[in-house]
Structure 1
Amino acid sequence: MFVLLLLVWIVLNGSLNLQVIAAGVVISAVLSWASYRLLQLPPMGGAGRIDRFSRAVFYILYLAWEILRANLQVMGRILFPKRRKGAPKLTWFQSGLKEPGHQMLLANSITLTPGTITVSLKNGRLCVYAMDQEFAAGLSECGFVQKLRRWEEK
């Protein structure tokens, strides 16, 4: 990981001199140490880490797509109020996720998506405020939950 971070530092810096290399070595060492200590990433990576990284990238892309879609839906409801389907609603549902990190990621993903806000997360049970009935429908089987369940299976 150290070498990869150093190479990224040099490429993004655009120049190669002693000062750039020295700063890159220090920053890469600190980031490698922090990722080892805080994220439990081994210094040399591994095949499992590449799989996790690719899943994370696809999850972030999926999240960005869902944010864009939800933004368009919320804009439509603001511009055309008759499109709203019912009143705002608080919905409780059991995510079925076992790992606290995945539960937190789900709660944050729902909050980042316009039209919904995670109000509470306790023991895998989420309370979500939804702008209308359509946003509240099917939260327990949404794409975020499905992707995170697949992560737990692997």
Structure 2
Amino acid sequence: MFLLNILLAIAWSALTGQFSPGDLAFGFVLGYAILWSLRRQLRGERYFTKVPQVIYFVAYVAWQIILANLNVARTVLFTPKEQIRPGIVAIPLDIRTDAEITMLANLITLTPGTLSLDVADDRSCLYVHTIDVGDPEQFRREIKDGFERLVYEVFN
């Protein structure tokens, strides 16, 4: 379904003669609407639940990166050196597949101020270094309720 949606976007751009990113995006949205209206005939129900999830996932990650950048800048510029408490936090994992764990670890590393260090041998825990631990339980909850939950939803 995704490839068909891409083909419809390209077809739209070819018909209009405009291959700009905006025209391709409009073609993608138009193709999505057409495919959505034909979803029962094409038996592609899953695609129409995943696309909004992926869009929300990308927006959430972008927002978290912006917030993390601001937080790191605030910590570095305005927090006295002796009050910064870097540390390693163990985050218990509900996700189990290699792809899910890799995605979560990469998202954490991509976010400024955090770095994924290791995964337990039994895949039950991810160890994360953070620039300023604060409350470890709150940090765990933020990862589990944010990135881990969204990774699970997108992959399942």
Same fold (TM over 0.5): yes
- The percent identity for this pair of structures is 24
Q: Hey, what's the Cα distance between the residues in 2 that align with 1:79 and 1:52?
A: 40
The structure 1 segments of at least 4 consecutive aligned residues displaced by more than 6 Å after TM superposition are none
Q: Hey, what's the Cα distance between the residues in 1 that align with 2:54 and 2:130?
A: 26
> Aligned AA for 2:119?
L
Change (3 A) 1:3 1:102: closer
Change (3 A) 1:106 1:95: same
> Aligned AA for 2:148?
V
Gaps of 5+ in 2: 19-41
Aligned partners of 2:90 and 2:127 also within 8 Å? yes
* 2:70 paired with 1:72: yes
> Aligned AA for 1:99?
T
Deviates more, 1:118-127 or 1:75-84: 75-84
Gaps of 5+ in 1: 17-43
Change (3 A) 1:52 1:85: farther
Change (3 A) 1:139 1:146: farther
Q: Hey, what's the Cα distance between the residues in 2 that align with 1:92 and 1:108?
A: 16
Deviations 1:73-118 (A, max 9, x none): 1111121132885421122221221333222221111111110010
> Aligned AA for 2:128?
V
Counterpart in the other structure of 1:5: 6
Change (3 A) 1:86 1:137: farther
Change (3 A) 1:148 1:77: same
Change (3 A) 1:46 1:108: same
- What secondary structure sits across from 2:17 in the alignment? coil
Counterpart in the other structure of 2:37: none
RCO higher in structure (CA 8 A, sep ≥6): 2
Aligned partners of 1:103 and 1:124 also within 8 Å? no
* 2:14 paired with 1:15: no
* Number of positions where the alignment pairs a residue of Structure 1 with one of Structure 2: 126
Change (3 A) 1:45 1:89: farther
Cα RMSD (Å) = 2.9
